[in-house]
Amino acid sequence: MTRRLGRPFQSDAVETRTRILREARLAFTTRGYENTTNREISAGAGITAAAIYHYFPSKVDLFVAVYDDVQAKVYDAFDVAVAQHDTFLKKFDAIFDTMLELGDEDPMLASFVVGVVTEAEHHPDLREALKQVSPRNQSFLASLCLQAQQRGELPEALPVQTAVDVIAGVIGGFARLSVTVRDRQRLRSVAKVYKNMARNALARASVSA
């Protein structure tokens, strides 16, 4: 079946936008923000380069949309995973299990996430645009930790933000590791150690007034 070029019909809009986001994420991840072109993205999406502007006015807007789409993919999966468990430790384990599953399904996902910070550092306009997007990790982890504290699973003396920062650091470290380590069994072994170390540290933590 020949794919239509040029401006898509309204009925194709959602599908076309999805293809653009998919191809853009691949290009941004493999070639970097600066080297990615509309021509490359449009070729993979099956549209003309000019047609991209009907969806995203600029490359900055496109990158931000990809970032937002990735956040939704990751944290929607996290939401589903933790909802199946009643305790903090099981929810914490479920986050890592989900990260491994997402990596199995989409090996390039972590590479894009890890690369966002670097791209923002090198491109001020992109950095400013990304500031307008609310990072879901903070709200997700804050809710997780606050509920755990209310259930008595985390010490009352432990500030919620500190718990959030600890977990965010562990998750971020594992994401960066998964970019360089392609051996899935090796990553599973590391995840097991991460889970045990981090949850034990959080469970025993106390902060003096």
- Least Cα distance to 171 among 202, 141, 204 occurs for 141
User: Going residue by residue through the chain (209 aa), what tens digit of pLDDT does each one get?
Assistant: 444 455 545 557 899 999 999 999 999 999 999 999 999 999 999 999 999 999 999 999 999 999 999 999 999 999 999 999 999 989 999 999 999 999 999 999 999 999 999 999 999 999 999 999 888 999 999 999 999 999 988 888 889 999 899 889 989 999 999 999 889 899 999 999 988 887 677 666 644 43
**Residue 197, Cβ density class (10 Å: 0-12 exposed, 13-18 middle, ≥19 buried):** exposed
3-state helix, strand, coil in the chain (%, to 5): 75, 0, 25
The Cα–Cα gap between 170 and 195 comes to: 9
Q: Is the CB of residue 71 less than 8 Å from the CB of residue 175? A: no
Report residue 204 CA to chain centroid gap. 29
What domains, with CATH codes, occur in the chain?
Answer: 1-56 (1.10.10.60), 59-204 (1.10.357.10)
The Cα–Cα gap between 68 and 93 comes to: 25
